Structure 1
């Protein structure tokens, strides 16, 4: 039953995305590219390539290739690391920031859809359970 419900959540999300998302660079990304952007976005400061590779659980050459791909798409940029002149830090470009903001809007629409179907207590319970399960 859980497997079936997770599939239904994925279909619900896909439907909301099709209806409400605009044509932007984030929509055209592979899941892997998107995952890299989210890790970079959630880092407290521009992230070092080594740390990005660790967070993504990939080799440093794999992370380098992905960062280069995202750079070509204009979604990330590298800047010098002040602590280590040999290292570079990766940060999102304005183009990526705007695309990820649009994505947050779509998740807000999904949330409102769930709010219409669940009571306040059920929503709180769902949120607690998801928080626990996703730690």
Structure 2
């Protein structure tokens, strides 16, 4: 069943995370904290708190509280918005940027393990199916 395989993928990913990133501060985050960092990272420019709350589908006070938590952990910082003095923009700190770069090694290890069990044609098919399913 698909639900069983999705659960197996999650356990597989968790195992790889534990093996690869024992001392990584990013791996110690809650899913919600990590999700915020990924949204901030995906923004081309420092993201306005309002836009961050929209993308996260939460209230602005919830986004503000999370950004404060990430600031306390040294992973994000708020900057004054040059266009609107009432607004704040959020950026990742160097600590967060480096941690998120290191995480790519986890996904690379996962991909290598999966590719080791599949033919190149099966890997291509898996990529096609995942792209379709994750649109």
Per-residue CA shift, 1:87-120, capped at 9, x if unaligned?
Answer: 1110000000111111111110101111111111
Kindly report structure 1 stretches of 4+ aligned residues shifted beyond 4 Å. Answer: none
Superposed CA deviations along residues 113-133 of structure 1, whole A, max 9, x for unmatched, are: 111111111111111111111
- Alignment TM-score, normalising by the size of structure 2: 0.96
Looking at structure 1, the residues matched to 110 and 18 of structure 2 have their Cα atoms a distance apart, in angstroms, of 12
Specify the SS of the correspondent of 1:91.
Answer: strand
Matched residues in 1 for 2:67 and 2:88: separation?
A: 11
Total equivalences in the alignment: 135
Cα deviations by residue, 1:62-105 (Å, 9 ceiling, x for unpaired): 00000000001100011122222221110000000111111111
1:24-103 alignment to 2 at 5 Å?
24-103=24-103
C-alpha distance in 1 between matches for 2:41 and 2:132: 22
Could you tell me how far apart the structure 2 residues matched to 1:106 and 1:80 are? 34
Find out whether 1:134 has 2:123 as its counterpart: no
1:52 and 1:93 map into 2 onto residues whose CA distance is 16
Q: Any idea what SS the aligned residue of 1:27 has?
A: helix
Normalization by structure 1: what TM-score?
0.96
- Which runs of 5 or more structure 1 residues have no equivalent in the other structure? none
1:18 deviates by 1.1
The whole-number CA distance in structure 2 between the counterparts of 1:133 and 1:51 is: 26
Gaps of 5+ in 2: none
What is the CA–CA distance in structure 2 between the aligned matches of 1:24 and 1:123, rounded to whole Å?
29
